[in-house]
Structures are given as structure tokens and as C-alpha cells.
Amino acid sequence: MDPDTYEDAPYQGLTILDMSQGVAGPYCATMLGLQGATVIKVEPPGGDWIRVMGGGEAGMTPLAVVSNLGKRSLCIDARKPEGRAAIERLAARADVVVENFRPGVMAKLGLDEPSLRANNPALVYLSITGFGDTGPWAAKAGTDSVLQAYTGMAMLNREASGRPKRMGMLVPDTIAALYAVQAVAAALFARSRTGRGRHVKVSLAECCAAFQAAPIFEDALFTGRYQPPTAVPSGVFKTADGFITLLVLRQDMWERLCAALGHAEWQVEPRFADNTARGQHAAEINALIADVLASHSSAHWITTLESADVLCAEVQDYAQLRAHPQMQHMGYFGALEQAPYQPLPVPYLPGTPRDQVIRPAPRTGQHTREVLAELGYDAGETAALEDAGIAIQG
């Protein structure tokens, strides 16, 4: 594949109009773009609010960059009739529109699904909300911390003391983007048969629930009854120079672990006879194993446990992950030339070619004049929009 083109990409020829802000909507549109679609990001005067979240320079925060790779940015005020008219022209030729505002916002702008699909029946219109488009919480802001608390994620990730704990990344937004991409792909496939678009609705709340389907089912199944641990021993253990994680799934693996740790007597201990018995003595077993593992380095134990065919891995930071021989061999990271920075490593979208150039995220309004020209605006019309503060060239 020519690294400078996306000619063989699945979504080549599709146009995505990304009116969303933050992470869930923008990252969804980015994934479509990384598979060949042309993505035009519409930003209000002042830019997407994610450009000021998380540090960085010139509006290029880490979240703004990875959520907007390869897009073109049109900065225009959709609240003004002239700005809305430009967006309507874009929507008339788009295949997908992405928005993630609270219910009712797009209708007030005259850019909701019925309005845009009236002129483009084949349009797939994606709406991402926090909690759904109707109901008592429809208008509630759906932030990451709120969704992690509301959907049980913080409780699932609770500390040993029982205190709920937020996971240290934007899990709800990221998984919502993944589910949204799948839903858009299904709608596009249906359109290929029927010629008609549709309104795709996805909420962060339902995505978090779907993502946790197994633990939610498990909770319902075992409510009020003893719930056996998935496996014992399991967990993260400190070594002489770091941490490793290990997990025992089967009885034969438990026996191999005992031998590898130099404690064959544990194999015949009645209290540790099977997983159910070990579950009843989980704290004791994990403490015994922790004492042994603390005596040698992580590298020593990884070698020892892998030789015994016990599931294990060293706990790594991101720098170690990028440098790991397996990641290097598979070419999972590419170099992103993103102004105003030096080339930085970024993971490829899974399933995409490794010889494909990862195109940078745009500045706010970087392509405003270019996009308006493609829509038929002449230089004078564009200048008038700029003079009125409706369109902004970045």
C-alpha cells in the first residue's frame, strides 16, 4: 500500500461531517478516517473544548490530537444563519454526520437528524448522548467521572478498602467511540442494500453497561450468595525490583506454579485442593506467594513462570511497552509528525496497514477557506464570513 494514500482503505470515498466535541464523537470519526473516509471537523469559534484539557501547546493536547487524527478543520459559527447554511451544504454531500451534544441542542440549531436527512435521505446521522435522548436523566451532563461512578466501573475498580476508584483514563468515552463505529458501520452496510440512511443513537451509559456485561450478569447471578473467585491465586505481586501479574486457571497450572515457586507441598495441602477450596483461602495463598515472589527480580520470575507455563507478565509503563521486542516486531506504533511537536509514537488503529502514514490532527480552523471553497464560496464570500467572525481560518 502506498504510504501516502488510503486508496485501498474500506471507507475510501465516504465523507464524514464531525460536529462533535470532546472524545467519544471525535474519536469515532477519527477511526472512520483512519480507514479511508474524508473527515471534516466543524469547530465553533474558540475551538473544541478538548483543546484546553490536559496540557500541550497551541491547542494540541494529547486528547485533541489522538481524537482528531487526519481530519480537516472548519471553524464556523453554527449559531449564525450564514454558518448554519455552510454546514447544511456539507451535510447535503456527507455520508455520515457525528454529533454528541445534549438532546435538543442540534434541533435548536436546525441541524438535527430530520432537518439534515430531509435533503439527504441516505445520510447516516450518529447521535452520542450521556444517558439517552429521553427520560429523567436525558439532559444530564455525561462526563467520564460521572459515567464511571454511575455505571459501576468505579465500584468494579475499588481499592482493597472497598473505596470506589475511577480508572485513570477516559474509559466511557473511548468504548462509546468503539461501539459507535460498529453501529455506523452496520448502518452503512444496511444503506448499501436499501439506499436509505438512518438515525443511529448511542449513549455512554449503555456502552458502559454493554462493556461490563459479564460482571453485571455475575453480580445479578450471585447477589446474596457466595461468589467464588474467578481464579486463585491471581493478582499483581511485588518482586525484588518491580511488579508482575500472575493468574492460575486450571488445577494443572496450580501444580506447576507450586513446583516453580519451590513449594511442592502446596500441591497436597487439603485447603488448597481445588479452585473452590483455594477461593476460601485466597488471602492466605496470595500472601504466601507474595513472600516468595519478593525474593527475586521480575525478569527471574517471568522466565521461571513462563517455563512452567503459568500465565504471567511484567507490569510495564508505557515507555516499556513501546520498547518491548514484541511491540517492536509487530510494528504496533507509528511515528506521528504533529506540529508543534517532534515526531511522537502513536499506536496504529488495529487492523490497518503498518505502512500507512498517520496523518496529524488539524489546528482549529486550519482548513476553513479550503473547505468553503469546495462548497462553492468565492474569496469575497469567505472574506465576508471572516470579517463577521462567523468563519475563522486557523
The partner residues of 345 in beta bridges, in order of sequence, read: 335
Closest-CA residue to 207 (of 141, 155, 144): 144
pLDDT over threshold 60, residue 334: yes
Low-confidence winner among 60-69, 166-175, 218-227, 270-279 (lowest mean pLDDT): 218-227
Q: Mind listing the pLDDT tens digit for each residue in 340-356?
A: 999 999 999 999 999 88
Report the mean per-residue pLDDT for the chain: 95
The partner residues of 97 in beta bridges, in order of sequence, read: 17, 125
pLDDT value of residue 54:
84
Closest-CA residue to 89 (of 100, 101, 78): 78
pLDDT over threshold 50, residue 231: yes
Closest-CA residue to 170 (of 44, 25, 48, 73): 25
Identity of the highest mean pLDDT range in 213-227, 274-288, 379-393: 379-393
| Whole-number Å distance between alpha carbons of 29 and 181 | 8
Question: Is residue 357 within 8 Å of 3, Cβ to Cβ?
Answer: yes
pLDDT over threshold 90, residue 198: yes
Domain ranges of the chain: 15-213+334-392, 234-320
Q: Taking residues 147-162, what's their average pLDDT?
A: 94
pLDDT over threshold 60, residue 4: no
3-state helix, strand, coil in the chain (%, to 5): 45, 15, 40
Alpha helices of 128-170 — where are they, by DSSP H?
144-150, 153-156
Q: DSSP string of 32-57?
A: HHHTT-EEEEEE-TT--GGGGSS--B
Kindly report the CATH class assigned to 15-213+334-392.
alpha beta
**Percent of the chain topping pLDDT 90:** 91
In angstroms, the Cα distances linking 39 to 130, 210, 280 are: 23, 28, 54
309: annotated active-site residue: no
Which pLDDT band holds residue 1 (cuts at 50, 70, 90)?
Answer: very low
| Whole-number Å distance between alpha carbons of 232 and 345 | 37
Determine the 3-state secondary structure of 344 from DSSP. Answer: strand
pLDDT over threshold 90, residue 126: yes
Q: Taking residues 202-231, what's their average pLDDT?
A: 88
pLDDT value of residue 87:
98
pLDDT value of residue 356:
87
Q: Taking residues 368-388, what's their average pLDDT?
A: 97
164: Cα separation from own chain's centroid: 22
Which pLDDT band holds residue 50 (cuts at 50, 70, 90)?
Answer: very high
Q: Taking residues 212-220, what's their average pLDDT?
A: 92
pLDDT value of residue 5:
52
| Whole-number Å distance between alpha carbons of 31 and 39 | 10
Out of 18, 112, 144, 173, pick the active-site residue. Answer: 173
pLDDT value of residue 175:
98
Low-confidence winner among 13-22, 83-92, 160-169 (lowest mean pLDDT): 160-169
- What is the sign of the dihedral through the CA atoms of 40, 46, 48 and 53? positive
Question: Is residue 310 within 8 Å of 234, Cβ to Cβ?
Answer: no
Q: Mind listing the pLDDT tens digit for each residue in 352-367?
A: 999 889 999 999 999 9
Where residue 56 falls (left for φ over 0; alpha for ψ -120 to 50; beta otherwise) is left
pLDDT value of residue 229:
66
Low-confidence winner among 117-131, 146-160, 167-181, 210-224 (lowest mean pLDDT): 210-224
pLDDT value of residue 230:
75
Which pLDDT band holds residue 228 (cuts at 50, 70, 90)?
Answer: low
Kindly report the CATH class assigned to 234-320.
alpha beta
Instruction: 184-187: list long-range contacts, CB under 8 Å, 24+ apart.
Output: 184/28, 184/32, 184/96, 184/124, 184/126, 187/124
Q: Taking residues 142-162, what's their average pLDDT?
A: 94
pLDDT value of residue 216:
93
